[in-house]
Chains A and B, each alone.
Chain A
Amino acid sequence: MNEERYVDELKELIVDVARRCRNCNYCYTVCPLFESSRGFQVQGPSGILQAIRYAIRWGELEGKEKEVLREILYACTTCYSCVLKCKASGPGVPLLDGIEGGRRLLIELMIGPMPEQIKVLESLEQEGNPYDELASRRLDWLKELERERRLSYKLLPAEGVEVLLYVGCTPSYNEGVQRVACSVVRLLEEIGASYGILSEEKCCGSPAKRMGEEGLFEDLCNENLESFKECGIQTIITISPHCYNTFVNEYPKAINEFKIQHYTELFAELIERGALVPKSRIEKVVTYHDPCYLGKRNGVYDAPRKILGSIAGVGFVEMRRNRDNSLCCGGGGGRMWIETEEINRLSETRVREALDVGAQIVAVACPWCYIQLKDAVKTTGNEGKIEVRDVAELLAETI
């Protein structure tokens, strides 16, 4: 497709979505960006959408305000709350399609992404991960675990493996989140799963997609699909809800030949069937923070709660905002790599909400929520009062 046609199509998409928005502003009541910012009109869903719509109409994409427009568009955490709110109380406008279409347009016109995100995209292209880490070091965490215990996984592609554990970039490279990956592996070992890990795993493409880098997303998507097919696996288990959402909702239909599960779904199922039994007790008050890409985007609310409920001793409490009303941690939409001004830092607000209900542990099921909330516990000075643990870590501790 030539440049002009591609740009025109994107503009049409944005204008079409924006035209359907009635500016009722109910989406502002659930928008984490609006809640955490100064509360300008352009710091909420319909305002962002109208900003890009009028930039197109008034030719501001060429003007000197284009950098301001970029900041407006890339501030959204893409948490999906606005879409759910509009579906429930309004005309059901897919606001995020317009906002993400705007990002694609800015990338095409060489205005986007945010300067700090350029290195992320370059690293995705060169090394297949967003962290500027060497592709050759992706499995180092696993080798470390293998020094502790014998593992039965197979490096894929290999014969006769049913389940692929798609580890993802953050659990592979982030020292803290590697503990989560190790817990998932321990649990898979416990149930005697026939599972494998890709010898040359690459990013699912989610960060590229969120930043509007559609071509890079397509490249990663095609490479992954090819390697999944080559493995002869039936099920793909993900650790990150972002990979899960990307596979389920954003990959082409060819992905449908595999069953995609977030690890919480798999382990909840096994617990229900009695195939996985938590043995020891955790005598703590635990709350659960719903990751946007697992909950709001995919409706997986019960599985992590079932797991926590199956652990003896756990006193489970809900935070004031939970399930589809849960507050975003602030790390989605490519914001893990940019410093945005937050008057009230979302992750800090969330930690306070967990403390308000007397939780000693806030359980998460997403690598980025894990990082964001752990940092927030420190920055709010609540170390020793509350811990951030992944559901997989807690479950593995009881086995």
Chain B
Amino acid sequence: MEVFVCLRQTAVVKEEPKIQPDKKGVDLSGLKRHLNEWDAYALEEALLLTQRYGGDVSVISLGPKEVEDVLFHGLAAGAKKAIHIFVPEREQIDNWVIANILSREIKKYPFDLILTGAQAEDDGCAEIGATLAQLLKIPHASLVMKVIYEPDAKSIKVERELEEGYMDVLRLRLPALLTIQTGINQPRYVSSLRLRRFKKAGTILRVSFDELISEAGDVYPKKEVVRLYPSRPEFSKVEMLGGSPEAISDQLIELLISKGVL
């Protein structure tokens, strides 16, 4: 079973993100980056499937030089091939364009299955997997929580997570694309020593974004960000009440009366 896994490198956001002056994106400069959480589960599922049923895992990512960190992570975890579609600048590329570029590159290789994370931590769009399946004209299932390979029928049986605790069991003809939900497995830990060794000796196949885009022809962004803004209510003032529980409740009652709430 030949499995492709699409990996995305996302920023580790632990503090209130800063919105850029044009209000169309988030300022991610200076932030550390890591493998998108959902993609870590997709990678693990691919490795488990090939361990169980044979075959190899290939990982593919798109972005500037730094995204090679997640590709080396993939190789160190057990993938046999890594492809980097090189984009010189870290810029926001439309997901439609990304899916087109990925499909152009993946098409060059034989594959039975493509796995992506169900969504990305940064934009949360959950659209690359579905778009890629459409472009490759292969069946697709989202939010997958279980995968069983049926080699005789050349199909897979998958369980999808629905709302309210329901599961949806589907059979898909191969080749197919699945977007993987977190919790499907426990992603393995790749140690620093192991990663260091693969960064030193691992091989990544580098592909030019520009060449792929010219091959693809008329691929233009299909949407644009109009505005990005926080939708939380803005508190003008936060006052911390102190003292004993009795003192706090007295102050609170006084405050509520003074504001006309009580």
Contact = CB atoms under 8 A, between A and B. Distances in A.
A108 B190 CA distance: 8
User: Of B14, B32, B186, B196, which is in contact with the most chain A CB atoms at under 10 Å from its CB?
Assistant: B14
Contacts of B193: 6, 108, 214-215, 218
A371 B81 CA distance: 46
A2 B186 contact: no
B32 A121 contact: no
Nearest to B186: A115
A338 interface: no
A216 B188 contact: no
A219 interface: yes
B77 A110 contact: yes
A113 B193 CA distance: 14
Interface string A1-26: 01100100000000000000000000
Contact of B190 (A110, A134, A214, A219): A110
A265 interface: no
A2 B197 contact: yes
B218 interface: no
B192 A126 contact: no
B92 interface: no
A115 B77 CA distance: 16
A112 B189 contact: yes
Given A110-B190, A216-B192, A126 B34 contact: yes
B88 to A, nearest CB: 26
A20 B195 CA distance: 33
Contacts of B12: 126
B48 to A, nearest CB: 12
A354 B212 CA distance: 72
Interface residues of B, number: 19
B15 interface: yes
Nearest to B193: A215
B80 interface: no
Contact of B191 (A2, A132, A216): A216
Interface string A75-113: 000000000000000000000000000000001101011
Contacts, number: 46
A73 to B, nearest CB: 14
A193 interface: no
Contact of A134 (B15, B34, B195, B196): B15
Interface in B34-87: 34, 77-78
A158 interface: no
B121 to A, nearest CB: 14
B196 A215 contact: yes
Interface string A374-387: 00000000000000
A390 interface: no
A307 to B, nearest CB: 34
User: Of B190, B193, B197, which is in contact with the most chain A CB atoms at under 10 Å from its CB?
Assistant: B193
A204 to B, nearest CB: 16
Contacts of B192: 125, 213-216, 218-219
Interface string A197-238: 000000000000000011110110000000000000000000
Interface size class of A (residues with CB under 8 A): 20 to 34
B154 interface: no
Nearest to B194: A108
A12 to B, nearest CB: 17
A118 interface: yes
Nearest to A132: B14
Contacts of B186: 115
Interface in B1-52: 12, 14-15, 32, 34
Contacts of A110: 77-78, 188-191, 194
Contacts of A122: 34
Interface string A28-49: 0000000000000000000000
A293 to B, nearest CB: 23
Contacts of B195: 215
A113 B189 CA distance: 7
A112 B196 CA distance: 18
A11 to B, nearest CB: 16
B14 A118 contact: no
B191 A108 contact: yes
Nearest to A2: B197
B189 A107 contact: yes
Interface string B179-218: 0000000111111111111000000000000000000000
B191 A215 contact: yes
A203 to B, nearest CB: 14
A24 B193 CA distance: 36
Nearest to B188: A110
20 contacts: A3-B197, A6-B193, A108-B193, A110-B77, A110-B78, A110-B188, A110-B190, A110-B191, A112-B189, A113-B189, A118-B187, A118-B189, A122-B34, A132-B14, A134-B14, A213-B191, A215-B191, A216-B192, A218-B193, A219-B192
Given A108-B194, A118-B189, 14 more contacts: A3-B197, A108-B193, A110-B78, A110-B189, A115-B186, A118-B187, A122-B34, A134-B14, A213-B191, A214-B192, A214-B193, A215-B192, A215-B194, A216-B191
Interface of A: 2-3, 6, 107-108, 110, 112-113, 115, 118, 121-122, 125-126, 132, 134, 213-216, 218-219
